[in-house]
Amino acid sequence: MDEIRLIIASDSVGETAELVTKACTSQFNQFGKALDTVRLPYIETHENVDEVISIAKEQQSIVIYTLVKPAIRKYMKEQLEENQLKHVDIMGPLMTILTEELNEQPLNEPGMVHKLDEDYFKKIEAIEFAVKYDDGRDPRGLTKADIVLIGVSRTSKTPLSQYLAHKRYKVMNVPLVPEVDPPELLFNIDPAKCIALKIDPEKLNAIRKERLVQLGLNDDASYAQDQRIHEELAYFEKVVSRIDCPVIDVSNKAIEETANEIIKIVTSRRSSKS
């Protein structure tokens, strides 16, 4: 045979089977023989399997398949054996072993790898978004964000943004400082996606003093003085009342606890609007 024909049959797009096939064929010099590979995706019915068998018989092809639905996989195997066609079931044997070892039935849903990939890329996109729009750098992020965090300095806005990004939420945070007006767009976006982070003045004072010490600065700087803190918190209340958004007290909460509360609020408010 001057040409070896391979059919890659899958109930999804067939990338998994093609990658395995390429990994195997790359180990051979082929000695002048050509490899003709055809991918046949979305094999989901008996009729689809019959088409694969017909093509394989006509071309005397080797069939490499990844089928997760047991009934279709069983029918494929039966037809291949009946027609004495060479074949490789890439997923079936391992699925059987895992079912026994895990004592759990598989989902049997085609395309799960690509769903996982999509989920991964959404997470990366959310993380990049949080970095890009951290600390109110670009007001244009307000319309694109899933969640907008508002608060004075040292209310965990940045770590919360990153934590929520790992949950695939695009988060922008906006610092509130009396001397700087927040972007006007903040008052025009949907308040349902805004969350204000409140903190106890004494707790904030302790956090800021500790931060100054970490930076090698004097802890009696105006940044950590009671008068300044009360001034900032009063400004915070003014802005929040204008936006009319939910407020979470983060004084004694862990990042995870606050994040879960944010997700619940945002989810419930969206549901009530739909």
CATH number at 102 reads: 3.40.50
Q: Are 194 and 240 in contact (CB under 8 A)?
A: no
What are the angstrom distances between the C-alpha of 121 and each of 112, 167, 230? 14, 12, 42
Q: Are residues 11 and 85 in the same domain?
A: yes
Which residue has better confidence, 258 or 121? Answer: 258
Q: Are residues 11 and 95 in the same domain?
A: yes
| Mean pLDDT computed over every residue of the chain | 89
Is residue 171 helix, strand or coil? strand
The domain containing residue 180 runs over which residues?
113-273
Is the pTM higher than 0.75?
Answer: no
Q: For 169-193, what is the mean pLDDT?
A: 95
pLDDT in tens, 35-89: 888 889 889 999 999 999 999 999 899 999 999 888 999 999 999 999 999 999 9
Q: Indicate the pairing of strand 87-89 with strand 62-66.
A: parallel
Q: Are residues 233 and 158 in the same domain?
A: yes
- The pLDDT of residue 108 is 67
Q: Are residues 148 and 173 in the same domain?
A: yes
Q: Is the pLDDT of residue 115 over 80?
A: no
If one counts the domains in the chain, the total is 2
State the angle between helix axes of 255-273 and 157-165 in degrees (0 to 180), rounded to the nearest 10. 70
- The pLDDT of residue 273 is 66
Q: Are residues 146 and 264 in the same domain?
A: yes
- The pLDDT of residue 9 is 93
Binding residues for ADP: 151-158
Helix (H) or strand (E) holding 115: helix 112-132
Binding residues: 151-158
- The pLDDT of residue 30 is 64
Helix (H) or strand (E) holding 240: helix 226-243
- Residue written as token pair 């004084």: 251
Q: Are residues 254 and 129 in the same domain?
A: yes
Q: Are residues 256 and 128 in the same domain?
A: yes
Which residue has better confidence, 105 or 115? Answer: 105
- Domain final residue, candidates 54, 79, 110: 110
Is residue 255 helix, strand or coil? helix
- Domain final residue, candidates 110, 142, 173: 110
Residues of the chain with pLDDT > 70: what percent? 93
Q: Indicate the pairing of strand 34-40 with strand 247-249.
A: unpaired
- Domain final residue, candidates 110, 142, 177: 110
